[in-house]
C-alpha cells in the first residue's frame, strides 16, 4: 500500500471513529430523553388514575370498591357505573341500602323487584343489589348495541318501553343527568 492510500485510509478510519463517537453520544442523549419522557408519561398516568379513583369515591361513596370490582367484572367503565349509582341516590348514600322509591325500586342501584328476581339477586343486600344493577346495565348496553343513551333509558324506564320507541321525559332527564355526571359536567351536589 502506498503512503497516500495509507494516509487516506487513516483519515477515513479517524472520520469513522468520530462518526461512531457522535452516533454513540446521540444514542445516549436519545435514550436519556426517552427515559425522561417515559417517566413523565408514567407520572401523568399515575396522576390520572388517582383523579379517577377520587372521582369514583365521590360518586359511589361507601360503595366505591364494590362498584369498581363489579364494573371491571362486567367490562364497564367504573365511572359510568358510579354515575348511575350517584344519580339513583341523588348523591345521598345514607340509608340507600334499604331505600325504596315511589315506583318500588329498591337499594343503591334502585332495582325493581321483577328485575332483581330476573337477575337472581336480593335487592335489599347492597352487594347483590350493586352486582345486579351493574349486570343489568351491561345487559342493556348489549341489547342496545353499546348505545349508552338507550341503555340508560332502558335502565330507568325498562327495555321494552325503549324498544317500542317510548321516551318518557323523566327517563330522558335521568339519562342526560347520568351522562353529565359521567362526563364530569354538572349534576353533582
- Of 183, 172, 174, the closest CA to residue 80 belongs to 183
Q: ∠ at Cα 62 (61, 64), nearest 5°? A: 70
Chain-centre distance for alpha carbon 70: 12
Buried b (16+ CB within 10 A) or exposed e, 155-182: bbbbbeebeeeeeeeebeebbbbbbebb
Measured distance CA(127)–CA(81) in Å, rounded: 14
**Catalytic machinery residues:** 88
The sign of the dihedral angle between the CA atoms of 173, 115, 81, 54 is positive
Q: What are phi and psi of 12, to 5 degrees?
A: -65, -40
Amino acid at each position: 500500500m502506498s503512503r497516500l492510500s495509507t494516509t487516506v485510509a487513516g483519515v477515513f478510519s479517524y472520520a469513522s471513529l468520530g462518526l461512531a463517537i457522535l452516533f454513540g453520544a446521540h444514542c445516549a442523549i436519545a435514550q436519556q430523553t426517552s427515559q425522561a419522557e417515559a417517566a413523565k408519561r408514567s407520572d401523568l398516568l399515575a396522576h390520572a388514575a388517582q383523579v379517577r379513583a377520587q372521582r369514583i369515591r365521590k360518586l359511589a361513596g361507601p360503595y366505591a370498591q364494590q362498584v369498581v370490582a363489579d364494573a371491571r367484572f362486567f367490562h364497564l367503565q367504573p365511572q359510568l357505573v358510579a354515575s348511575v349509582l350517584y344519580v339513583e341516590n341523588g348523591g345521598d348514600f345514607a340509608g340507600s341500602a334499604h331505600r325504596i322509591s315511589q315506583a318500588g325500586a329498591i337499594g343503591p342501584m334502585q332495582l325493581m323487584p321483577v328485575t332483581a328476581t330476573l337477575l337472581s339477586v336480593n335487592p335489599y343486600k347492597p352487594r347483590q343489589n350493586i352486582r345486579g344493577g351493574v349486570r343489568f346495565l351491561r345487559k342493556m348496553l348489549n341489547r342496545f348495541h353499546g348505545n349508552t343513551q338507550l341503555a340508560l333509558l332502558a335502565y330507568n324506564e325498562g327495555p321494552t318501553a325503549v324498544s317500542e320507541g317510548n321516551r318518557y321525559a323523566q327517563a330522558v332527564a335521568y339519562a342526560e343527568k347520568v351522562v353529565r355526571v359521567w362526563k364530569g359536567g354538572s349534576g353533582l351536589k
